[in-house]
Structure 1
Amino acid sequence: MTHILAAGDRFIRSAHLRKSIERALAGRAADIREIEFPWPDAPFGRVAEVNEASGTEEQLIEALTGVTAIATQLAPITDRVLAASPELRLIAVSRGGPTNVNLEAARTRGIAVANVPGRNGISTAEMTIGLALALLRRIPLSHNTLLAHEWRGEFYRLDEVGGEVKGSTIGLLGAGAVGGHVASVFAAMGADVLVFDPYLQPGALGSGVRKAESVEQVFAESDLVSVHARLTEETTHMVNAERLALMRHGSRLVNAARGGLVDYDAVADAVERGQLAGAAFDVYPEEPVDFSHRLFALAAAGHDIVLTPHIAGASRETANRAADGVAEEIRRFLAGEALLHPLVAAPGPAWPGAGLAQR
């Protein structure tokens, strides 16, 4: 009997993972166990040498006894956990960036690792578009005035009204699974979309989308800039004071990617001096956030600052894609087929789990 662990949390539930695995295996014999960790009700964090993990090494070691494959989003898969789980042959991670997995330790032990890239691409793209529209049309600010029982006519004054997407220039820093969808939607709405992405393939841009030659060009020409890059040493604080100073007076900024991409102190300065008419953020340098940061004071004082608690990728569809994605990787592994999205390939001409699902 093949033993599989569905290690869920309160977004991608263990029962959800189990059902997806059962569908993928189509009745083949397998013992699917469940464990569930407390994220997002309890913040994820660092566990030993891995990041963005939920639960403890001790819990996972006990649950992995005799297990061949694990499906998880946030389980802390550390070197210690792998050393204590000699029968584990596949780690299927239901996210794009598996920072909760020690990939080198898995590679050393010949354990295959697969992920689900782009699982939340549509969800994050739609949230980004929503944040941009909220800024352009001043929706949260005007909503709050009604909650305060105020009917403020100045929202219809020419110097107070918002703007439209059609005819504006929207700059995107990155055109992957999220940025590419944002680009196509804004282009369809009539915007001139300007994209900087050094990895962009020739011919990948659709109608209404232009390729920028530099990051600085995006800031200089855009009415609204949205960030869609991966966080690396090179991209940390790619949105900084120098680049914000290149933007047109009264422009706007959106970040639903990673908090470390943006210098939030520089953003607060730009809002205070009017360089930025508004900014919208779903991600932050520290999570949970530092509520003493000036951005919160500026938002409370009536500036157009829209803040949400890192929920851009949170949709039922994202959870479904994630669970189905890891289930398919487990099916392939156990059937001896090549993984769709291998991060670490197990050594040898065939996967170690080949044929296990039929036993």
Structure 2
Amino acid sequence: MPTTVLAAGDHFVLPHLLERELRAAAPPGTELDVRRLLLPWPHTPFGKVAEVDEASGGEEEMIEALRGARICLTQMGPLTARVLAACPDLELFCVSRGGPVNADLEAATRHGVAVCHAPGRNAVATAEHALALILAAARGIADVHTDLKRGVWRGDYYDYTRCGVEIDGSVVGLVGFGAIGSRVARILHAMGATVLVHDPYVRPEAVGDIARLVSLDELLSRSRIVSLHARVTDETRGMIDRARIGAMPRGAVLVNCARGALADYDAVCDALDSGHLAAAGFDVFPVEPVPAGSRLLSTPGIVLTPHIAGASREVAHKAARIVAAEAARFLRGEPPAHCANPEALAGRHRR
């Protein structure tokens, strides 16, 4: 009897990519009945669905599509308590994202549904985008681009006080040294920067000779450029506050491709207006989309991109490949590699 699988993709991680990778990874001879569901993200912004965050589509849509399915491969599909209660055949829910924020892990564990995710899927893309924002902010590319598009040739950008800074020879501080931060560190080191890292979960030997582990206070006080690569936790939420921005050297640059909740953006705008910060680059924001009238849209010196650091075609393929591999392990009776609630596996066996 074939195993029923829902490939609930969207306009980035397409349903056919999920199905193709699953069929390639499945054990030989496996019969699969794959249903496809196209969720509206990113054409429609993700949001909260019942008790889960950053989801696309609705509970009714998922319940209908999941009927009889044992496995679901998705990026944004909501896995809520209501969906779980209505879909008793579901055993594996694979989220092709770094973290399964669109899944209710407690409810999934109660129902014996293992929730897997795809750590590192966008590490390369996000690291490259962070570097792009660092360079664009440090050299004032966004402002001169806007001027030139309006037909204004600004020769005064050669004024000493308006010139940007080079990476080579600069001290660059990275807050976080995970899959993304470590890649950014290697690139910056190769470009000639002195790289400082703050990450309480990393041992000194892990950074090798490309960087030096320091306290957050030392990093902020010494770095000409600071780039954020930490997860949002109770300890990191709002960590780059007004006082810590004030501790940065005058003329410093702040870049954030991690999460908007890490920094006080009003304080950043004040620091830019006063000249304490020279520039900033942001791909993530406290509220997304950025509200009309936000100071971020009018404060000079800020390079903005709409949460697209992880948007590359390679990421879509990697994401589909990682979750397909988890489904293949499940079909072979092997434990998952990236399970967010491993206790659910024991709960399923007890049922």
Distance in 2 separating the partners of 1:324 and 1:171: 33
Letter in 1 for 2:314: E
1:357 is matched with which residue?
none
Matches within 5 A, 1:58-207: 58-207=60-209
Match of 1:317 among 276, 299, 314: 314
Alignment check: 8 A CA contact 1:336 1:350 kept: no
State how far apart, in whole Å, the 2-side matches of 1:27 and 1:289 are.
Answer: 49
> CA contact under 8 A between 2:112 and 2:348: conserved in structure 1?
no
Any idea what SS the aligned residue of 1:245 has?
helix
Q: Paired residue for 2:328, among 325, 331, 334? A: 331
Report if the CA contact (8 A) 1:137-1:162 is conserved: yes
Using the alignment, how far apart are the partners of 1:280 and 1:261 within structure 2? 14
User: How far off its partner does 1:160 sit?
Assistant: 1.7
Contact 2:59-2:80 at 8 Å conserved across structures: yes
Structure 1, unpaired ranges of 5+: 353-359
Farther off after superposition, 75-84 or 108-117: 108-117
Q: Any stretches of 5+ residues in structure 2 without a counterpart?
A: none
| Residue 41 (structure 1) aligned with residue 43 (structure 2) | yes
Residue of structure 2 equivalent to 1:225: 226
Q: Secondary structure at the match of 1:314?
A: coil
Cα shift at 1:185 = 0.6
Tell me, yes or no, if the aligned pair for 2:113 and 2:348 is still in contact at 8 Å. no
State TM-score, norm by structure 2. 0.96
Provide the TM-score with structure 1 as the length reference. Answer: 0.94
Aligned to 1:285: 286
1:274 is aligned with what amino acid? G
SS of the residue 1:195 aligns to: strand
Q: C-alpha distance in 1, partners of 2:103/2:288?
A: 20
CA offset at residue 29 of structure 1? Answer: 1.1
Residues 328 and 35 (structure 1), Cα distance of their counterparts in 2 relative to 1, 3 Å cut: same
1:53-109 alpha-carbon deviations (Å, 9 max, x no partner): 100100000111110100011111001100111111111110111111011111111
What CA distance in whole angstroms lies between the structure 1 residues aligned with 2:99 and 2:349? 23
Structure 1 counterpart SS, 2:206:
coil
What amino acid does structure 2 have at the position aligned with 1:136? A
User: What is the CA distance between 1:349 and its match in structure 2?
Assistant: 11
Partner residue in 2 for 1:275 = 276
2:205 alignment partner, SS class: coil
Match of 1:7 in 2: 8
Query: Residues 19-60 of structure 1, C-alpha deviation per residue, up to 9 Å, x if partnerless?
Result: 111111155211011111101110111111111110010000
Distance 2:254 2:210 in 1: 20
Deviation at 1:347, TM superposition (A): 3.5
